[in-house]
Amino acid sequence: MKLADPETYLESLRSMRRKVFALGERVENTVDHPLIRPSVNALAETFNLGEEPEAEELLFATSHITGKKISRFTHIHQSADDLVKKVLMQRMLGRRTSTCFQRCVGMDGLNALYSVTFECDQAHGTDYHRRLKEYIRYVQEENLVVDGAMTDVKGDRSLRPGEQSDPDMFVHVVERTGEGIVVRGAKAHQTGALNSHEILVMPTVGMREDERDFAVSFAIPCDTPGITFVLGRQPSDTRKLENSPLDVGNPTYGSQEALVIFEDILVPWERVFMCGEVDQSGKVVERFAAYHRQSYGGCKVGVGDVLVGAAVLAARYQGVDRASHVREKITEMVHLNETLFCCGIACSAQGYPMPAGNYMVDVLLANICKHNVTRFPFEISRLLQDIAGGLVVTMPSEKDLLNPELAPYLDKYLKGKEGIPTGDRLKIMKFIENMTMGCGAAAYLTESVHGAGSPQAQRIVIYRMAELEKKAELAKRLARIDEAPIDQ
């Protein structure tokens, strides 16, 4: 069944039989579970044409494999324009949902593997690139959601994969058979895993010669027997169980992560895209990281647009929108958000072709983009809380507001500017609480730090790629350092 709209997407998830746990209990229907449904809604927006005039151009692309119209989330970038449109699409969807729409990691993983499998075949005579292209064809034809699985649980961080006392701390091959490979381990922080059809596994670090079993990449359906999903917790997540939409803050949309456990899964050879080629494993990590760090210049900017709007409403509803210091704070929020967008567009516009024919982002600028994302959203959130005031964390619950005895008092004493309904002021306050402290903060703030690698990972790449010696030569030339000393 080709997934063409949100409804068919939802039905495809309902038809899957998976082993899923949430709050210690087995969940059979993840689509309609109150803890999970907001994240399903957010991902469903990637199947929704929406009302934006630019939506069709951004959401769809032409497959270089089939020549057909496909979702951009399944597309292999063929130009710098494709890279730019990816960022624009992500900003548009961030504006729609004000959260993570969970489909970017799979897209970025497919694009990273596309070039690496091509180069691996050239270096080792393997057949990975053909296999990957056939897999991409299948994903494109069916418009499937792919969970990109890179982050291993890692165990003792001071030890490499091959040094762990328990090798299962990194996904690894435990057996090679005529049918395929048997793998074991777990992937952590899997954004949108419960809302995906496929899992695309990649190595989490570059491997050494004695770590061939860990240099593995493959794809497997999410409902494969032997896979277990454990839903992660988020701040204030049980508010979704209280049937109080106001207290949730963003009741329609949300994000989710899961721990994905692989218990001796047999992967057919046709779905294996790396198996022991340690010299290629680091390429996957670096290229995936660059693509995904580019992504943050779109999705987090879209969410930032919504937070700027929330600041405007909070100020207006409280009668302080004309205050000069409030306008200055909103201006700073815009400045920070658009700076992130500039980086996302810049690393895309500077994209270049790879030997495989697909396009790669400017790696240095992509890392600059993500490094700014580890900082600016926190300042945007601080300014938003500053403008909103203390009611963000002291407001009564929706049940209090619905209590006939309390309602008149709360409507009177929680009122802001004349002519603004008290309920409107309270809705924007709860939304701000969600985005800066609650479930929304998990997708906007914590993910901004650790998604696509922690800040130090970007700093390592930035230093390595900064061409410091070339810059030193520029300074030497202009300062005439290579000429005779002044005292001669």
Q: Which residues are catalytic?
A: 100, 104, 191, 257, 292, 296, 299, 447
Q: Is 389 left (phi over 0), alpha (psi -120 to 50) or beta?
A: left
The whole-angstrom distance between residue 168's C-alpha and the CA centroid of its chain comes to 25
Q: What is the C-alpha to C-alpha distance for residues 487 and 110, in angstroms, rounded to an integer?
A: 60
DSSP 136-184: HHHHHHHT--EEEE--B--SSTTS-GGG-SSGGGS-EEEEE-SSEEEEE
Amino acid at 28: E
Count Cβ atoms below 10 Å from residue 436 Cβ, excluding itself: 24
DSSP 8-state symbol, 76:
P
Q: What angle do CA 105, 98, 63 make, to 5 degrees?
A: 40
| Strand 19-22 to 359-360 pairing | unpaired
Rg of the chain on CA atoms, in Å: 24
Distance CA 3, CA 20 (A): 23
Cα–Cα distance between 101 and 191 in angstroms, integer? 9
Is 464 in a helix, a strand, or coil? helix
Comparing CA positions, the residue from 35, 394, 445, 43 lying closest to residue 237 is 35
